[in-house]
Structure 1
Amino acid sequence: MNFGELLRALRRGWWMPVLGLLLGGVAAVAVTAGTTPVYTSHTQLFVATTDSTSTAEAFQGNQFAEKRIASYAELLTSQELAARVVAELDLAETPAQLAARVEAAPVSGTVVLDVSVTDPSPGQAQRIARTVADEFIAAVAELETPAGSLTSPVRVTVFGAADLPRSPSAPQPVLDLAVGLVVGLALGAATAVVRARLDRSLKDPDEVTELAGAPVIGVVLRDDELQQRHRVDLQGSSRSAEAYRHLQTNLQFLDVDTPPRVLVVSSAMPSEGKTTVAVNLALALADAGQRVVLIEADLRRPRVTSYLGLVTGVGLTNVLTGRAHVEDVAQPVGEDGGLVVVGAGPTAPNPAQLLASGAMRALLEHLRETHDYVVLDAPPMLPVADATGLAVLADGVLLSVRHGSTTREQLQRTRATLDRVGARTVGTVLNIVPVRDDVSAAYGYSAEYGAAPATAAR
């Protein structure tokens, strides 16, 4: 994933970092509120040797102390020393519990030990720190005194007396909140990136073009009214109307020498908007002055006649079985007669065979002679074989790719199916694109361009 893809992933999943930021802040506040404040008392111990009568001996003694210092830090946090402190102060806790609250670390390059003790009570933390220092001094004297001698060659003194803490060392509300916000933001951003990496659905027009082997010649935004009515008002200036006008223009100039006049409109899977594309493309072509026939070639789930409010019951099935002529079942749409619709007709037991039959080929040749465009609303490519046989008889296939729904694998399989039978994919329509998506802005749909308001005459 390059930098541009990373930015797109974060832009599309912007709500995840925001949600992570909020949840991180809430978690930090909850942890801070539920944490018992503790106080930390600090003291410092200085380690030296007692038998240094010359500079050389002092240097050797200092080296000796530096070597011992790490062992002394372990002794300070041991349960043995903690047991002495518990007994001395008569504490109501075990040596292991006390040892867990004692920290000791040598100051690098010195013979000084930093010791800290935490406790819910500031006064108790100071008392324990003092006692730890005293018991440690006594323990070192015992351990370092040679047999038969009364004095230890190592002397430990308190370099910094245990202080009385004035404010709790934990929790730290500001720091905890900052950490919570940063961690939440990072986790949210990581989730958005991982989600984008795992998402196999198509959103990028360039990727659609590459996988389909055909250009994106139309981008249709999500439109609630279009989803309900399934047809646009081409006399208006809505985004959907402009999108289908663009699609109609791009299709007409897609190949000037051999324009696709018999066009199958399909998709990889159901519910990807292919029937709506077929209906409104036919309406846009007719609105541009073309003679268009729209055939409801999805014999399994016909939708064209219901979308356009036409009569059902007779149609393509009757024509292909020789029971009617196409002119008898064609229904005009609008007053100018530029668009006629041939419905699906009665349910057929063998739709795939009917659509790939010689009768279908003859019908398309007849309609090619009498109309400028023949648009066929075909079934989806992958679930059934109906559209595959139909695509061979047409000049080309227009695929509807639903933004965020059609997957890379589905489009690849669709292309492989069409290539296998020698069908030609003339273009794709990226359909049902969210209005706020990057694609909308890239294609200029985020801008409004209407007629300028008339000025009053003077």
Structure 2
Amino acid sequence: MDTQESETAMARLYLVILQRWLWLIVLAMLLGASIAYLLSRSSQPVYEAVTTLLVSEGQKIGGTDYDVLLMDERLARTYGELLKGSLLLKQVSAQVSPSVNSDDLRKMIIVDTVRDTQLITLRVRHTDPKLAARIANAIPQVFMKQNAEQQAARLDSSKQIIKQQMQSSQAEIVSTQQSIDAERVKATPDPNTLAHLETLLAQSRAAYQELQQQYQSIQLAQTEASQTLTVSEPAQVPQQPILPRTPLNIVVGALLGLMGGIAVASLITYVDNTIRNADDVERATRQAVLGSILRIKGKGDAQKPILATLPNSAAAESYRVLSTNLEFAVLGAGGLPALLLVTSTQPMEGKTTTLANLGVSLAKAGQRVLLVDGDLRHPALHKQFDLPNNVGLTSLLLHPTMDLQESIQDTGIERLRVLTAGPVPANPGEVVRLAQTRALLSQCKALADYVLVDSPPVLAAADASLLAQHANTVLLVTEVGRTRADALRHAVGALTQVGAHIAGVVLNKVVAQQNSRYYGGYDYGYYAPERTATKRARPSLAQAVSKPRKKAARAQGVERSS
């Protein structure tokens, strides 16, 4: 099972690389193909002239080392090597083109033997097609001439030896015959001596006859020795170059570019380990992604809950999806009331904006929501709703006698109230550690169905870990393309270490195209007309919440029906 999961993870990783860096991979392919095309166009064309040679059996010669000369594949391979000999190529160079030395010729020629045949294919490659053809025809001619001369010299030497043997044998015949004649003229010839001499005479005549046959065979071999290698098909002047192979080079260049592009993309992905999608989150932390929040254009929009200013926008819908996932998958499972801590890995990732819009979404869904600004170092929740920050959480913690109800402020949105951070203390970390923090948060839970607490980033201060111990669950906000995987992993580890329950991760500031895998592109097209209309005159937060309740209900009904 682990092996299957590992293979699946690797496949998903390569798919992510392909999706993210497709433009780079395509660019690398085009670059590789272009370079291959330019190199092919700039390189000088090479022509190939081909000569086919036939190796035939030699003349059988009896009695000597040249009796049997079998021409088979082994002889053809031998000739193939001899055709590339230095002495031969020097003679060919002197005959065809003295400017081309033997070493250059050896690089030009390719000799192949055709399997199960006695054929030899001689290929010569050169930028000059005529010179290639001349060299291809000259090499076998010079070789056959050399071979014929060497064969003739060997046969002449054999003839001289046999001729001497024949002369010696003939002298023996004459001497033996004289001895026989001398023995016969005696008055009483010795029969045994005559029989012996006649036997010697017969043997000498037989040896002489055999030498005569060998001599005749060598004479016949001399006339046919040059036929052991013949030109079956002479080389013609090639009309078309074989190199460069421009189409093949373009394909190879594109493939090399593809491999290079994938390698570069993989290297960038390995070096740049920022979180970019849900797969990155799951690989780094094994945490589920509960929602992907679209990037909100413009600094002004980022300071106000978009669910109040642009309720029908695609970004607002992404907050509603997050709210639904939280309500059914996490918060609703534990029953009411629920205290949710919203934090991030590092500053400026959008945790406060996420918390504010999540609160608006839950409030519009009929829940009583209390937002608490627990970021005592850089409080910003009051800016989301244009509220004063004179009295808040720090005031209640440092002055336990103060009334909680009087410190909570209305936002103008029904069922949504806010407890701001209050004046920034000199030692925020010590204030959060106060014993009355748990009691105060318990009081907050008694006043609402959902209490959403904003806290400092996990890796920026210990406050988040302290506050997480009082929460039912934690929502971790991460910015796409900015938060590093190792930082997110350390943040999850820090929260887990204090026993916090992490509901999941929110991908924030996602570009619409990146988010299409979650929304399928439908919502963007559906809400596009609304965005165009609201772009002309965007309402302020006060205008948004002061509309008649009847119109708000009608708009809410349209949203739900969609």
Residue 374 of structure 2 corresponds to residue 297 of structure 1: yes
Deviation of residue 287 (structure 1)?
A: 3.3
What is the identity, as a one-letter code, of the residue corresponding to 2:41?
A
2:116 to 109, 113, 135: 109
Deviation of residue 139 (structure 1)?
A: 4.5
Deviation of residue 309 (structure 1)?
A: 4.8
Matched positions, count: 447
Matched with 1:441 is 517
Q: 1:426 to 1:334 in 2, by over 3 A?
A: same
2:507 partner SS: strand
Comparing 234-243 with 329-338, greater Cα deviation is found at 329-338
Bigger fraction of residues in strand:
1
Residue 420 of structure 2 corresponds to residue 342 of structure 1: yes
Residue 132 of structure 2 corresponds to residue 132 of structure 1: no
Assess if the C-alpha contact under 8 Å between 2:339 and 2:452 holds in 1. yes
Q: 1:263 to 1:445 in 2, by over 3 A?
A: farther
2:418 partner SS: strand
Q: 1:338 to 1:131 in 2, by over 3 A?
A: same
2:56 to 33, 45, 48: 48
Matched with 2:452 is 375
What is the identity, as a one-letter code, of the residue corresponding to 1:17?
I
Deviation of residue 9 (structure 1)?
A: 4.1
Matched with 1:27 is 35
Deviation of residue 215 (structure 1)?
A: 4.3
Matched with 2:240 is 167
1:34-183 aligned within 5 A: 34-52=42-60, 61-63=70-72, 66-141=73-148, 146=154, 148=157, 155-183=228-256
Give the Cα–Cα distance (whole angstroms) in 1 for the partners of residues 337 and 280 of structure 2.
24
What is the identity, as a one-letter code, of the residue corresponding to 1:131?
A
Q: 1:33 to 1:315 in 2, by over 3 A?
A: farther
Give the Cα–Cα distance (whole angstroms) in 1 for the partners of residues 112 and 239 of structure 2.
23
Give the Cα–Cα distance (whole angstroms) in 2 for the partners of residues 293 and 194 of structure 1.
46
Give the Cα–Cα distance (whole angstroms) in 2 for the partners of residues 193 and 91 of structure 1.
54
Residue 326 of structure 2 corresponds to residue 251 of structure 1: yes
Matched with 1:279 is 356
Q: 1:277 to 1:76 in 2, by over 3 A?
A: farther
What is the identity, as a one-letter code, of the residue corresponding to 2:92?
V
1:349-380 deviations in whole A, cap 9, x for unaligned? Answer: x4333223213223312322333332222222
Assess if the C-alpha contact under 8 Å between 1:86 and 1:94 holds in 2. yes
Comparing 183-192 with 293-302, greater Cα deviation is found at 183-192
Assess if the C-alpha contact under 8 Å between 1:226 and 1:232 holds in 2. no
Give the Cα–Cα distance (whole angstroms) in 2 for the partners of residues 313 and 141 of structure 1.
116
Comparing 158-167 with 302-311, greater Cα deviation is found at 302-311
Q: What percentage of aligned pairs have identical amino acids?
A: 32
1:422 to 493, 499, 511: 499
What is the identity, as a one-letter code, of the residue corresponding to 1:107?
V
Give the Cα–Cα distance (whole angstroms) in 2 for the partners of residues 369 and 130 of structure 1.
105
Q: 1:229 to 1:51 in 2, by over 3 A?
A: same
Q: 1:227 to 1:212 in 2, by over 3 A?
A: farther
Assess if the C-alpha contact under 8 Å between 2:477 and 2:506 holds in 1. yes
1:360 to 432, 437, 443: 437
Give the Cα–Cα distance (whole angstroms) in 2 for the partners of residues 21 and 291 of structure 1.
57
Q: 1:99 to 1:8 in 2, by over 3 A?
A: same
1:388 partner SS: helix
What is the identity, as a one-letter code, of the residue corresponding to 1:24?
G
Deviation of residue 263 (structure 1)?
A: 1.4
Give the Cα–Cα distance (whole angstroms) in 2 for the partners of residues 208 and 153 of structure 1.
81
Assess if the C-alpha contact under 8 Å between 2:465 and 2:495 holds in 1. yes
Matched with 1:232 is 306
Unaligned runs of 5+ in 1: 454-458
Give the Cα–Cα distance (whole angstroms) in 2 for the partners of residues 322 and 354 of structure 1.
11
Give the Cα–Cα distance (whole angstroms) in 1 for the partners of residues 241 and 380 of structure 2.
71
Give the Cα–Cα distance (whole angstroms) in 2 for the partners of residues 372 and 17 of structure 1.
51
* TM-score, normalization by structure 1: 0.82
Deviation of residue 149 (structure 1)?
A: 5.3
Give the Cα–Cα distance (whole angstroms) in 2 for the partners of residues 159 and 214 of structure 1.
76
Residue 317 of structure 2 corresponds to residue 242 of structure 1: yes
Assess if the C-alpha contact under 8 Å between 1:10 and 1:193 holds in 2. no
Give the Cα–Cα distance (whole angstroms) in 2 for the partners of residues 49 and 80 of structure 1.
25
Q: What is the RMSD computed on CA atoms of the aligned residues?
A: 3.8
Unaligned runs of 5+ in 2: 1-6, 160-221, 531-562
1:171 partner SS: coil
Q: 1:200 to 1:139 in 2, by over 3 A?
A: farther
Deviation of residue 392 (structure 1)?
A: 0.4
1:230-283 deviations in whole A, cap 9, x for unaligned? Answer: 531445321211111122233333334424622111123444432321222123
Give the Cα–Cα distance (whole angstroms) in 1 for the partners of residues 493 and 505 of structure 2.
15
2:291 to 218, 222, 225: 218
Comparing 256-265 with 219-228, greater Cα deviation is found at 219-228
Q: 1:307 to 1:128 in 2, by over 3 A?
A: farther
Q: 1:149 to 1:30 in 2, by over 3 A?
A: farther
1:69 partner SS: helix
Assess if the C-alpha contact under 8 Å between 2:319 and 2:361 holds in 1. yes
Deviation of residue 8 (structure 1)?
A: 4.9
Comparing 196-205 with 417-426, greater Cα deviation is found at 196-205
Deviation of residue 43 (structure 1)?
A: 1.1
Assess if the C-alpha contact under 8 Å between 1:356 and 1:393 holds in 2. no
Assess if the C-alpha contact under 8 Å between 1:332 and 1:341 holds in 2. no
1:94-127 deviations in whole A, cap 9, x for unaligned? Answer: 4323321221111122222211112222112212
Matched with 1:456 is none
Give the Cα–Cα distance (whole angstroms) in 2 for the partners of residues 146 and 116 of structure 1.
31
2:56 partner SS: strand
Give the Cα–Cα distance (whole angstroms) in 2 for the partners of residues 224 and 17 of structure 1.
30
Give the Cα–Cα distance (whole angstroms) in 1 for the partners of residues 22 and 51 of structure 2.
49
Give the Cα–Cα distance (whole angstroms) in 1 for the partners of residues 67 and 483 of structure 2.
80
Q: 1:452 to 1:275 in 2, by over 3 A?
A: closer
1:138-192 deviations in whole A, cap 9, x for unaligned? Answer: 4445677648359668822222111101122212333333333344345445655
Q: 1:450 to 1:330 in 2, by over 3 A?
A: same
Matched with 1:432 is 509
Give the Cα–Cα distance (whole angstroms) in 1 for the partners of residues 488 and 126 of structure 2.
64
Assess if the C-alpha contact under 8 Å between 1:297 and 1:376 holds in 2. yes
1:393 to 470, 475, 483: 470
Give the Cα–Cα distance (whole angstroms) in 1 for the partners of residues 423 and 284 of structure 2.
35
Give the Cα–Cα distance (whole angstroms) in 2 for the partners of residues 369 and 380 of structure 1.
26
1:295-348 deviations in whole A, cap 9, x for unaligned? Answer: 332334444344555556764444433399466765543365723240363253
Give the Cα–Cα distance (whole angstroms) in 2 for the partners of residues 388 and 108 of structure 1.
79
What is the identity, as a one-letter code, of the residue corresponding to 2:364?
D
Assess if the C-alpha contact under 8 Å between 1:382 and 1:414 holds in 2. yes
Give the Cα–Cα distance (whole angstroms) in 1 for the partners of residues 380 and 463 of structure 2.
16
- Return the index of the structure with the highest Cα Rg: 2
Q: 1:431 to 1:61 in 2, by over 3 A?
A: same
